[in-house]
Amino acid sequence: MSHPASARIHPTAVVSGLARIGEYVEIGPFAVIEDDVEIGDHSRIASGVLLASGARIGRECRVSKGAVIGTEPQDLKFGGEQSEARIGDRTVIREFATVNRGTAHGHKLTSVGSDCMLMAYSHIAHDCAVGDHVILANAVNLAGHVTIGEWASIGGVVAVHQFCRIGRHAFIGGFSRVAQDVPPYILTTGDPLAYYGPNKIGLKRRGFSDDQILAIKRTYTRIYRSGKGLREAIESIGSDFPESREALEIADFCTGSKRGIIGLKSRASSEDD
């Protein structure tokens, strides 16, 4: 397979003739692009990058020096099956970040959405699903089968346990340990993680109204401060906030939790304290 004439490939790069290279792609010195790789138009691959077979890079992505995408899962159950690591459009992957392929025990797919930022030394393990506009700061480590909703932000040196879910628009402070599900729209930090109110700054930046943020706050007051059990609190949310999409999303997220919700066993700190 011939690569497009518009592609700029450094002579020291090792690029398989079977790789599918888009228009105006740039590939830097000593990069290695294996056989079963796709790179979308206008993407830039820096020096020393490894795109292993199974890597799928979207349009207008930037992959920085030393990043490794699409290598085999670090999972003893992996049996060599064909699988993928898929990166969406316009996502930035910084130095030495790593993304492993999926396994047959997931969907044979590890996915990262569009317009994401994976900072230096971050790691995304097998079968993770990361939504659009997600930010992983330096040295964030996601174990296998983690799910992260769109617009979530995770601070530096955070470790996320296998099968945990992080809801949309959530913010997790740096040096935290995530061992349970983090519901959408909240700000949380610490070890163990505690609830610190809605992610007000992030929500306002993304166009949420004061009324929407107030409904989110009141919903979490029911969950964290009413003294009710989680099931009882969730049942009251549906009847008390029937017109709030955010409240119903929170209730659905909590109902679907298998690992439990962060902050329920210890006293939750409040933005009002």
pLDDT in tens, the chain (273 residues): 679 999 999 999 999 999 999 999 999 999 999 999 999 999 999 999 999 999 999 999 999 999 999 999 999 999 999 999 999 999 999 999 999 999 999 999 999 999 999 999 999 999 999 999 999 999 999 999 999 999 999 999 999 999 999 999 999 999 999 999 999 999 999 999 999 999 999 999 999 999 999 999 999 999 998 888 898 999 888 788 888 999 999 999 999 999 999 998 643 334 443
The domains found in the chain, sorted by start residue, are 8-145 (2.160.10.10), 203-255 (1.20.1180)
Q: List, edge to edge, every strand of the sheet that includes 129-130.
A: 20-21, 38-39, 55-57, 84-87, 109-112, 129-130, 147-148, 165-166
pTM over 0.85? The answer is yes
Residues in the chain: 273
In which element (H, E) is residue 99 found?
strand 98-100
Contact 174, 191 (CB under 8 A): no
**Residues 89, 57: Cα–Cα separation, whole Å:** 8
Q: Which residues contact 130 (CB under 8 A, 6 or more apart)?
A: 111, 112, 113, 116, 124, 136, 142, 148
Q: Would the CA dihedral through 159, 163, 167, 168 be positive or negative?
A: positive
- 144 is annotated as an active-site residue: yes
Contact 97, 116 (CB under 8 A): no
Neighbours of 136 (CB within 10 A): 28
Question: Which entry of 115, 127, 133, 169 is annotated as an active-site residue?
Answer: 127
Question: Which entry of 22, 58, 88, 144 is annotated as an active-site residue?
Answer: 144
Question: Which entry of 3, 42, 123, 126 is annotated as an active-site residue?
Answer: 126
Q: Which two tokens stand for residue 210?
A: 């004061």
